[in-house]
Chains A and B, each alone.
Chain A
Amino acid sequence: MSVGSLEAETTAGETKAAAEHGGAGPFPAPLSRESAGRLADVLKAVSDPTRLQLLSMIAASPGGEANVNDLTAALKLTQPTVSHHLKTLVGAGLLSRSKRGKWAWYSIRPDRLDVIRGLLS
């Protein structure tokens, strides 16, 4: 899922211009068609109220992990529905899934944790 580092080489002048340009640092290289498609898929996965709620619950769970049973109970949805949403989020590279014992445990992937926390709080 990773689109890799898209940072372009920048000159000192460009970096300075970038600092004046909303303080966003050096300009990233534009997205390729493929990267844009992947990023759009990630955003589509996130742009659903139930999936945002699932992410928020997982992020706030003890140990940063939750299982489908707890999530289903809290959201008052059927388990297949919740499982479907979780699968979508795993497919988008936002969640990791690990099966331990009876349950599959979902956690937010560490490299997305900061940005997803910034989205949810």
Chain B
Amino acid sequence: MGGDPDVPSPPRALPGGTARRLAMRIKILSEPVRLRLLSLVVAAGAVGVNAGTLAGQVDVVGPTVSHHLRVLTEAGLVRSSRERSRIVYAATPTGARLYRQLQRLGGDAAPPSTADGATLRELLDDLADTPVTGGRAVPPAAGSPLPGLLDPDELLDRVRDRLAVRFAGVFSAETVHRYLADSYERLAHSAVVTSHLPVLTEQFAAERLAAMARSRGLLAKPVPDVLFVCVHNSGRSQMAAGLLRHLAGDRVQIRSAGSEPTVGIDPGVHAVMAEIGIDLRAEYPKPLTDEAIRAADVVITMGCGDACPVYPGKRYLDWKVSEPARRPLSGIRRIRDDIDARIRTVLLPELLGDPPAAPG
């Protein structure tokens, strides 16, 4: 290193545009929790690791974990797959290599792997060009934040404004905000990663606020309120809610929830309900909440056992209905028809005092 003061000025610097682009991509990773999550996912190897385990190891709240995992996924460093009711995360080849290079930048003495042909620059370039789920490319526009970098709080601010308008005169803005934050946290825990999270949160929070308002007599309660509860809120309780909605229309207020809600409604359940003209595409698994139980006049449990707290003055029914997950369509149809028969013969007469509705 013979520094000679007489040598000419140093060579040209990295072009400004390139420097800005690289800086922006490195910035995505310069966050401790995000780095730890990436390291945990890389350490899990090809087997992967589920979100619950990750959240347990980084001691931050669920929405934060979900947010970071979404950023990593959209950047193409991590991919998620569904295993039964859990989402499992594994590093992509780019993610594993980039993590190694970052460690070396941080001074880790780990020897370079022979397969590490790509330079840090190539990996960072790759990162921005990796298509994310749905074939959408990560926006390349310099200076604009990646979608995953949006603060979830910012997205939720808009939702909070809308809900505050909707519940004006019923609940204070603070109450709305508290329920919204809690709803986000609960959904993020169970739904793990979904680009629809703010939308679902709005819907879920609105339902909870409405249920609470109704149970306190703040909103008119002209019709009986029914709550279906199963374990995942992805099969039985969704089918029951869909069937009752079509059988009773707006003569009944219907809710459904799961004691351990899963990520999405079982595709087989969608299929067999669609066969009979009931569309569940707008439905989503929701956790069981206290307001839903308090608002309900009738609570029907299906396989969730003791998870549902018991309040006085309500009618509780426990239906022994099989779990449809991983069954063939023929099996799911039998479950659907079983639920349908129970609604017609037991529930409707109880709710409305009506004779069973005509099949349809």
Using a CB–CB distance below 8 Å, which chain A residues touch chain B?
1-8, 14, 17-25, 27-31, 33, 35-44, 46-54, 56-58, 60-67, 70-71, 73-75, 93-94, 100-103, 105, 107, 111-112, 114-121
Contact = CB atoms under 8 A, between A and B. Distances in A.
Contacts of B40: 30
B98 to A, nearest CB: 10
Given A28-B39, A47-B27, A22 B10 contact: no
Contacts, number: 214
Contacts of A7: 110
Contacts of B22: 49, 52, 119
Nearest to B7: A62
B45 A30 contact: no
B36 A30 contact: yes
Given A2-B107, A57-B11, A22 B93 contact: yes
A105 B26 contact: no
A53 B19 contact: yes
A24 B114 CA distance: 8
A115 B105 contact: yes
Contacts of A25: 100, 113-116
Given A47-B23, A107-B1, A119-B120, A42 B107 contact: yes
Contacts of B114: 25
Contacts of B104: 112, 114-115
Contacts of A74: 9-10, 12-13
Contact of A3 (B27, B103, B115): B103
Interface in B1-54: 1-5, 7, 9-14, 16, 19-20, 22-24, 26-27, 29-33, 35-36, 39-40, 42-47
Contact of B107 (A36, A46, A58, A111): A111
Interface in B91-140: 91-97, 99-110, 112-116, 119-122, 124
Interface of A is mostly: helix
A95 to B, nearest CB: 12
B14 A56 contact: yes
B109 A43 contact: no
B81 interface: no
Contacts of B113: 23-25
A27 B101 CA distance: 13
B172 interface: no
Contacts of A38: 106
Given A24-B97, A36-B35, A120-B14, A42 B105 contact: yes
Contact of B93 (A23, A44, A75): A23
B175 interface: no
Interface of B: 1-5, 7, 9-14, 16, 19-20, 22-24, 26-27, 29-33, 35-36, 39-40, 42-47, 57, 90-97, 99-110, 112-116, 119-122, 124
B93 A24 contact: yes
B26 A47 contact: yes
Given A6-B110, A119-B119, A22 B92 contact: yes
B105 A119 contact: yes
A43 B4 contact: no
Contact of B13 (A2, A6, A75): A75
A17 B45 contact: yes
A66 to B, nearest CB: 5
Contact of A119 (B20, B57, B109, B121): B121
B112 A39 contact: no
A11 B32 CA distance: 29
Contacts of B23: 46-49, 51-52
B108 A43 contact: no
A24 B96 contact: yes
Nearest to B95: A22
B42 A28 contact: yes
A24 B42 CA distance: 10
Given A3-B103, A24-B93, A120-B14, A31 B19 contact: no
Given A22-B93, A28-B103, A42-B105, 10 more contacts: A5-B108, A22-B115, A24-B93, A31-B35, A35-B106, A46-B26, A65-B1, A107-B1, A116-B120, A118-B101
B279 to A, nearest CB: 41
B13 A21 contact: no
Nearest to A116: B105
A30 B279 CA distance: 44
